[in-house]
Chain A
Amino acid sequence: MKSLLRRVILFGLRRPGLAAFLSLLALALAALPILTASFSADITRMLPSGSKSERACAVLLNSGLFNQSAVLFTADTEEQLDAASSGIDRVADEIASLPGVTRVDNRFLPDDLPATLASFQEWIPQFQPFSGLDAAGVVSAVKRKILLGGFASLVLADPTGFAAAKLATLEQFRSASSFRLKDGETAIVSPDGLHRLLLLETSISAADTKDGRRLMDELESVLAKHPLPGVRADLLLAHAHSIENERVIKSDVKLACILSILFFLPAILLLFRRDLRALAIPVFPAVVSLAAVGLLAIPGEPVLLFVTATGGLVIGLAVDYGVHVYMTMRTPCPVRRLIRIAPSLMTGAATSAAVFLLLALTPIPGVRQFGVFIGISLLASLLLTLLLFPSILIRTKAPLPKPRPLKTFSPKLASGICFALMALFAVLAALRLTVRTDLRQFDAAQEKLSETADAVERLFLDGPAQGVLAIPGKDANTVLMSASLICDGFLNLDPGLEGRMFSPSFLIPTKAERERNLASWRESFDYDAFAELLRAAAEDEGFEPDAFDPFLASLERGLESPDLDSYPEVFAPVLNRILRPAADGNGWYAAVFLPQSALANKHRPGAGPVPYCILGAVAISRADIPAQIVSDMKSATTLPVILAVLSVFVIAFLFFRTVRDSLCAMIPVAMALLTVCAVYAVLGKPLNLAAEISLVLLSGLAIDYGVFVIGSERSANPYVFRAVSASALTTAAGGLTIAFAGHPLLHEAGFALIPGVLAAWGAAALLLPSIRRGFIVNKKASLKTLLLSLIPALLPLTSACHSLPYEYDPIPPLTETEWPLYRDAVQPPAEPMKPFAFQGKVTFEYKFFKQATLCAVSYDESGELRVAAFSPSGGKLFELAGTADTLVDYWFMPIDVLEGHEEEAAGFILEDFFHIFGGLDPWRGVKNGAAENVKDDSKIIRRELFGDGKEELVSEFWGTNLPVMGKSYFKNETIDWQSWYFRYIVNDTTIFPEIIVYDNYKHGYRLILTVSDLFEDSEP
């Protein structure tokens, strides 16, 4: 490394023009991707990838179920709002015609109710099975209703009362979703009559700030074009959060640039006695950080604006290198001295960069980008400074400032002060420090935008907040089936939920049900005969002969040309919001409303005939998501801090090669971390994600101070005090550039940095030389004392290691009351395994080898299983068929290595698939095994012994009639194979595993199966 750095320095000095040209060229090339980069202010990029909270937020965004786009009209009096009604209708029509607006709902119910009821009749044959229709009875019921005071137009439009009953279901939506409206209003008017809502649907993603801003401008211009006297309009757009966050961060980037100039220029001129060449010091990191933004754009992911705003911080950290070069170049024999200190500078930079690059290991995309940005910037800044700066300074004849030696005290006093402070800070932190990892505190738009959102909730929502289940599926029909099954499960478990939950399946049946209903009507209902009878009965009862013709025409339309893919328009305002395609175009989502208590404690997610979590549904409740974010962030942010501390020690040790000096160099790190924790504890501020990022940052720069000071002690360099002080000053200035930022994330990071930098400087420049000298005198005590002193700085190491690629949702324990019911209810079913067929993919894993393939699998009524596998390119790899006992047929693509082993391989594969798909229901497939059920916390474990008792199948279930969640097979107490079922999908008649992880321990490989298309018959 020393030789390389020497060459870099000498090349810069000998060929300054060429060096500058090459550097600028490289930087310009690196910066080029900025031109095509996309920038994002999406706060959810700060959530750990793959975490539950990220999944929940992804569902929230992708489902569009919670798209809060609306216009809220507010009047002072009900009369004013009534007078503005036609104006609001005009606004609604104009908004509906705006590009990007896909739907505007202005009314909860249509104005023309008789027409709605009449057209509704065509859905009768699809929505309910035929159960007899007596013409005379229909007419007499109509007459009775009219005599009792019913509106004739309404009663005649809906003579069977079917439409009225279905519309009443909408009322259930209002009660289950806590949505309240003014009685007797068809428009969406609040119960106090002073507010009216227009609900908007847009095709513009909530994260798309460009089109979102355009839409916002257009909406504002429509509202300005139609002034409504005495009525105020407020926009509530889902895009507003992204737009506001982007605005704040962009203004922060500008502010950081201005502050960098304001802080760094005077500081540098002051430190370097108005030597204008010193102004080049911050230029190197500034240019490098611009190029680093370009590098971030190369992977194609959006560059986070939070990250670019930390450019000031890069300058604050990297000017240290310029400071050291400047100081060295003013000493006698400057080049030789520079070459001598270059490795030390590189070690410092590498240590810091390593700490930041470690952040690339975190599961948080935003933090990863931040780590890579700063890590690369620091290393490149040092190289650029070594290459170009000496040639600028080489002709300096300015007098050398008088060196200021490092402060020294009595070693005992220095150690005493240091350890007393650390102990005090550690105690303060332990007693008072709290951690708040909820990311929503960093949403710059939260406060500003929550006012209108709160107003809508206050005005239109009443009663306890509802929980929502977002249910995914490949199409509308699949999510309806899942929703129906899940609701049945909840109702079976707690009949008290009747009327307190709502699902789209309450409004419309599944396609298969529609087809069955329609078939029953076509089979048993004679339309012509009924129409004749109805007309005759109407005449007998004194109605006009054609009084029922609109009803009959609608019914006939429903029988002759039914639309099985659509639903009544009157349901659209509700159904469009709770049953909709995913924003990314992959699949659909349904929302089921139910009390939060049903999602939380009382009902286990694993309970009921179909636990919602195994169908991929995500519970979304205001209480749960923040808690989940907190939990995910805790586990994702603790490890980087621990790793940062450990890595700086390792790198310091590699440089010093003595434990004592390495531990000494860690003192500024420990002091900086403990000071920040203590400051937060004393101020009563919780430690948040931004502060934790700053802790990682502090570890990187505080070790620099430690390395410089210990290095100078070893080489008797008298200039280090000034250099470390200048370095701390510029870093604190870098912290200040972002501490003034408007965005909470940047502001917090800057705020945490400043006390940490000061503490690290104090420990390094004032205390460390004395402490080290003391330890040199008393070598025996030094190591033990150092180790003891650094213990308070260690934070508990918490990490989770998941051996499986998927996770189950947590299952609450089975209570003592539940257990006997579940144990006794579980019985082996009598019928054999049901036929099935599917297409999907299989990922084959063997040690470090991993390969995905496609597959088609079927199991028919004769008990024959057929498997075909294809490479992802479509080439068939093999096809085989057989029963549980016999291999019937097989074919493999001819390859040398398999020659002669085809039958054997086919037997293994067949066996694996029978292991996976055999016995999916409780106790199915058991052959004379001695079995017992045992309770294991939240699960029911079924143990079955086979043969002479040396083979055992252990199956795990989550409750009565549930599909199996895991199976393990043991031979002679050694595990032979294991199969886990992480998610199930629904078809019309059954549920089937969707994600399966199968481990064959005998041969040491793993199969991960994902079912993509499940077919109803057994021939895929």
Chain B
Amino acid sequence: MIPAKNRFFLLAAASLLAVSFFAFADDTSAQPETKANEAKVAETTPDTAELLANIANFRTLRTKFVQTKHLKAFKKPMVLNGELCLDRPGKRFAWHVEKPLRYSCIIANGKLTQWDADSDKTVSVPFSKYPMLEMLSDAMTAFASGDVKALEKDFEAAAGQDGTVVLKPRSERFAASLITEVELTLDDSRTKIVKVRASEKNGDVTELVYTNSVFDSDIPDTLWQAKQKK
């Protein structure tokens, strides 16, 4: 029991929420790159290298998504619907969930801002306070856009079947303690990502499917605001 530490709950809850966005954001600061990693990157086959070179060549992405979380211990999956926006030159990322709970997370201008319709509260966390968030931002942008090159230091990439790219966490990286595999599915042109499937160590599987993706269009300013109209 921690009777005099009620704030502990608050801190724990806030911290959990801040880092919970994507479980597979790696703590690179804790583990400097090794030569072994560099060597493994170099091992990528020429076919894979060609495939990786062609994906994620876009400036902005705006897409609807359906995220389905299959939990090992539960029969029914947890399904989230929403809209995702990426602005790679501006280093901005927006994640708007519409169902089951309206929620937005914006990573831009050196901070992460969260809002949800239930509490109607907006919380901003600057990267300067939590440096890990910047890495989280980079990782999320890389995963959501299929920018495998940016992930190479943490994951080994290989071309899978039917236009997929399979990412396996390097054994010494933190991600390996959480994730067994991430599979990126590409469209027919093999240049655009349409699905991300992450298999976790505990048996849970998360699928992120994009629909109605629009590339290189101007994204309205309202989508870069965390608080959305009720």
**A residues bordering B, Cβ < 8 Å?**
300, 837, 839, 841, 843-844, 846-847, 849-854, 856, 858, 866, 868, 870-879, 881, 891-893, 895-898, 901, 904-905, 1002-1005, 1012-1013, 1015, 1017, 1019-1020
Given contacts A868-B71, A876-B71, A895-B16, 11 further A-B contacts (CB under 8 A): A852-B117, A856-B76, A866-B73, A872-B101, A877-B17, A881-B73, A893-B16, A901-B12, A904-B2, A905-B12, A1005-B10
Contact of A1020 among B11, B76, B117, B119 (CB under 8 A): B76
**Residue of B whose beta carbon sits closest to that of A840:** B100
Complex CA gap A851/B10 in Å reads 10
Counting from the closest, the 10 A-B pairs by CB-CB distance are: A872-B103, A875-B20, A1019-B75, A852-B118, A850-B119, A871-B20, A895-B15, A852-B116, A877-B16, A1020-B76
Determine how close the nearest CB of chain A comes to the CB of B1; give it in whole angstroms.
7
Contact B21 A873 (CB under 8 A): yes
Q: A897–B116 contact, CB under 8 A?
A: no
In this complex, what residue of A is CB-closest to B27? Answer: A894
For the complex formed, measure the closest distance between the CB of B130 and the CB atoms of chain A, giving whole angstroms.
Answer: 11
Evaluate contact between A851 and B17: CB separation under 8 angstroms.
Answer: yes
Q: Judging by beta carbons under 8 Å apart, are A1017 and B15 in contact? A: no
- B1-48 contacts to A, CB under 8 A, are 1-3, 6, 8-17, 19-23
Q: Cβ of A1012: which chain B residues have Cβ within 8 Å of it?
A: 100
B170 at the interface (CB under 8 A from A): no
Cβ-based interface call for B80 (8 A): yes
Q: Is B204 an interface residue (CB 8 A)?
A: yes
Please tell me if the beta carbons of A893 and B23 are within 8 angstroms of each other in the complex.
yes
Given A852-B116, A876-B23 in contact, is the A897-B15 Cβ separation under 8 Å? yes
**Which among B75, B97, B118 is the interface contact of A874 at CB below 8 angstroms?**
B97
Neighbour of A851 across the interface among B14, B23, B95, B97, CB < 8 A: B14
Instruction: Write the chain A residue with the least CB distance to B23.
Output: A875
A664 to nearest B CB, angstroms? 43
26 interchain pairs, CB-CB under 8 A: A846-B10, A846-B13, A850-B119, A850-B121, A852-B119, A854-B80, A868-B71, A868-B74, A873-B97, A874-B97, A879-B202, A891-B202, A893-B16, A893-B19, A893-B23, A895-B19, A897-B15, A898-B12, A898-B16, A904-B1, A905-B12, A1002-B3, A1015-B76, A1017-B75, A1019-B76, A1020-B76
- Of the candidates B9, B15, B103, B119, which one forms a contact with A873 in the assembled complex, judged by CB atoms under 8 Å apart? B103
A874 touches B74 (CB 8 A): no
Residues of A within 8 A of B20 (CB): 870-871, 873, 875-877, 893
Set of chain A residues within 8 Å of B15, measured between Cβ atoms:
895-898
Q: Is B206's beta carbon under 8 Å from chain A?
A: yes
Partner of B206, one of A839, A874, A895, A897: A874
Chain A hits for B71, CB < 8 A? 856, 868, 876, 879
- Residues in A whose Cβ lies below 8 Å from that of B204: 876
CA distance A784 to B73 in the complex (A): 74
Q: Tell me if B64 counts as interface (CB < 8 A to partner A).
A: no
The answer on a CB contact under 8 Å between A871 and B9 is: no
**Does B69 lie within 8 Å of A870, measured CB to CB?**
yes
Max chain A Cβ within 10 angstroms of own Cβ: one of B12, B21, B22: B12
Residues facing A in B190-219 (CB within 8 A) are: 202, 204, 206
Q: Which residue of B lies closest to A843 (CB)?
A: B118
B118 closest partner in A (C-beta) = A852
Which chain B residue has the least Cβ–Cβ distance from A870? B78
Q: Which residues of A contact B22 (CB under 8 A)?
A: 875
Q: Which residues does chain A contribute within 8 Å of B61, judged by CB atoms? A: none
A1005 cross-chain contacts in B, Cβ below 8 A: 6, 9-10
**Shortest Cβ gap from B51 to chain A (Å):** 28
Cα A853 to Cα B14 with chains together (Å):
11
A839 to B100, CA, bound (A): 10
Q: B129 in the interface, Cβ–Cβ < 8 Å?
A: no
> Does A852 contact B101, Cβ atoms closer than 8 Å?
yes
User: Taking the complex as formed, is B164 at the interface, i.e. its CB lies under 8 A from any CB of chain A?
Assistant: no
CB distance from B195 to the nearest CB of A (A): 15
Q: Which residue of A lies closest to B222 (CB)?
A: A300
Centre residue among A870, A874, A881, A893 by max chain B CB count within 10 A: A874
Question: Is the C-beta of B105 less than 8 angstroms from some C-beta in chain A?
Answer: yes
Q: Which of B75-122 contact A (CB under 8 A)?
A: 75-76, 78, 80, 95, 97, 100-101, 103, 105, 116-119, 121
Residues of B within 8 A of A856 (CB): 71, 74, 76, 78
Q: How far apart are the CA atoms of A858 and B6 in the complex, in Å?
A: 27
How far is it, in angstroms, between the C-alpha of A872 and the C-alpha of B104 when the chains are bound? Answer: 8
Residue in chain B with minimal CB distance to A872: B103
Provide the bound-state CA to CA distance between A839 and B17, in Å.
19
Q: For the complex, give the distance between the alpha carbons of A1 and B80 in Å.
A: 52
- The reply to whether B69 and A871 contact each other, CB–CB distance below 8 Å, is no
Residues on B with C-beta less than 8 A from A1004 are: 6
B67 at the interface (CB under 8 A from A): yes
Closest-CB distance, A415 to chain B (whole angstroms):
52
Q: With a CB–CB cut-off of 8 A, which chain A residues contact B97?
A: 872-874
- What distance in Å separates the Cβ of B106 from its nearest Cβ neighbour in chain A? 11
Please report the C-alpha to C-alpha distance between residue A852 and residue B116 in the assembled complex, in whole angstroms: 7
Question: With A and B bound together, what is the CA distance between A498 and B15 in angstroms?
Answer: 58
Question: How far in angstroms is the closest Cβ of chain A from B99?
Answer: 9
Contact A901 B2 (CB under 8 A): yes
How far apart are A199's CB and chain B's nearest CB, in angstroms? 34
Contacts of A1017 in B (CB 8 A): 75
B202 contacts which chain A residues (CB < 8 A)?
879, 891
Chain A's nearest CB lies how many Å from the CB of B115? 9
Residues on B with beta carbons closer than 8 Å to the beta carbon of A871: 16-17, 20-21
A851→B74 contact, CB < 8 A: no
Cβ-defined partner of A866 (8 Å) among B3, B9, B74, B121: B74
Q: Which of A846, A853, A872: most chain B Cβ within 10 A? A: A872
Judge whether A849 and B78 touch: CB under 8 Å: no
Closest chain B CB from A779 CB (angstroms) = 52
| Chain A residues in 8 Å Cβ range of B67 | 874
Asked whether, in the complex, the Cβ of B69 is within 8 Å of the Cβ of A876, the reply is yes
Asked if A843 and B119 make an inter-chain contact with CB atoms under 8 angstroms apart, the answer reads yes
Shortest CB-to-CB span from B69 to chain A, Å, is 6
Q: Give min CB distance, A49 to chain B, whole Å.
A: 11
Of the listed residues A300, A847, A898, A1002, the one surrounded by the most CB atoms of chain B closer than 10 A to its CB is A898
Min CB–CB distance A848 → chain B (angstroms): 9
Bound-state CA distance A1005–B6 (Å) is 9
Rounded to whole Å, the gap between the CB of B7 and the closest CB of chain A is 8
CB distance from B70 to the nearest CB of A (A): 11
Query: Which of chain B's residues have a CB closer than 8 A to the CB of A896?
Result: 15
Residues of A within 8 A of B19 (CB): 875, 893, 895
Complex CA distance for A526 and B143, rounded to whole angstroms: 59
User: Shortest Cβ distance from A549 into chain B, in angstroms?
Assistant: 45
Q: Is the CB of B229 within 8 A of A300?
A: yes
**Which residues of B lie under 8 Å from residue A1003 when comparing CB positions?**
6, 9
Q: Which of A844, A852, A854, A892 is the one whose CB lies under 8 Å from B78?
A: A854
Q: Which of B51-72 contact A (CB under 8 A)?
A: 67, 69, 71
What are the residues of chain A within 8 A of B16 when measuring CB–CB?
871, 877-878, 892-893, 895, 898
Residues of chain A within 8 A (CB-CB) of B11 are 897
Q: Could you say which residues of chain B place their CB within 8 Å of the CB of A851?
A: 13-14, 17, 116, 119, 121, 123
- Chain A residue contacts of B6, Cβ below 8 A: 846, 1003-1005
> A904 vs B12: C-alpha distance in the bound complex, in angstroms?
12
B180 to chain A, nearest CB (A): 15
A587 to chain B, nearest CB (A): 13
Which chain A residues lie closer than 8 Å to B74 at the CB level?
837, 856, 858, 866, 868, 1019-1020
Taking a contact as CB atoms under 8 Å apart, the answer to whether A901 and B8 are in contact is: yes
Q: Tell me if A897 and B229 are in contact (CB < 8 A).
A: no
Nearest CB in chain B to that of A841: its residue: B101
Contacts of A881 in B (CB 8 A): 73
Tell me how far the C-beta of B60 lies from the nearest C-beta in chain A, rounded to whole angstroms.
20
- Bound together, the chains give a CA A363 to CA B78 distance in angstroms of 36
List the B side residues contacting A841 at CB < 8 Å. 100-101, 118
CA distance A306 to B148 in the complex (A): 57
In the complex formed, the residue of B with least CB distance to A842 is B118
Docked Cα-Cα span, A312 to B10, in Å, equals: 51
Q: Which residues from chain B contact A844 at a C-beta distance below 8 Å? A: 13
